[in-house]
């Protein structure tokens, strides 16, 4: 199966998502959060840096649970062309 290239908007959304995860992680280590979510630290690193801009749903859900974030909050914060004014993403 060949993946189609991501659009610039999809890449930007992945970068926003990664930044939101970094913000929500706060002072917790990447290893601690990754372990709590059941993913590797390298996977979390790739997501946070935007190198994996389209993580699988279950990875997103596991990270959201580990960071005590709702999926609705993450989706709203990552929506295209929307300034996020919702609750702070600190865990």
How confident is the model over 25-77, as pLDDT tens digits?
999 999 999 999 999 999 999 999 999 989 999 999 999 999 999 999 888 88
Find the farthest-apart pair of alpha carbons in the chain and give their distance in angstroms, rounded: 39
Is the full-model pTM beyond 0.85? no
Q: Which fold has domain 8-78?
A: 434 Repressor (Amino-terminal Domain) (1.10.260)
Read off the DSSP letter of residue 81. Answer: T
User: How far apart are alpha carbons 33 and 42 in whole angstroms?
Assistant: 12
User: How far apart are alpha carbons 56 and 84 in whole angstroms?
Assistant: 23
**Where do the domains of the chain lie?**
8-78
User: How far apart are alpha carbons 18 and 55 in whole angstroms?
Assistant: 10
């Amino acid at each position: 199966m060949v993946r189609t290239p991501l659009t610039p908007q999809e890449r930007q959304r992945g970068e926003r998502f990664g930044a939101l995860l970094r913000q929500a992680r706060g002072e917790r280590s990447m290893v601690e959060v990754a372990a709590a979510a059941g993913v590797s630290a390298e996977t979390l690193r790739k997501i946070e840096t935007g190198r994996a801009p389209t993580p699988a749903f279950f990875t997103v859900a596991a990270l959201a649970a580990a960071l005590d974030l709702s999926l609705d909050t993450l989706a709203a914060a990552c929506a295209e062309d929307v300034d996020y004014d919702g609750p702070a993403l600190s865990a």
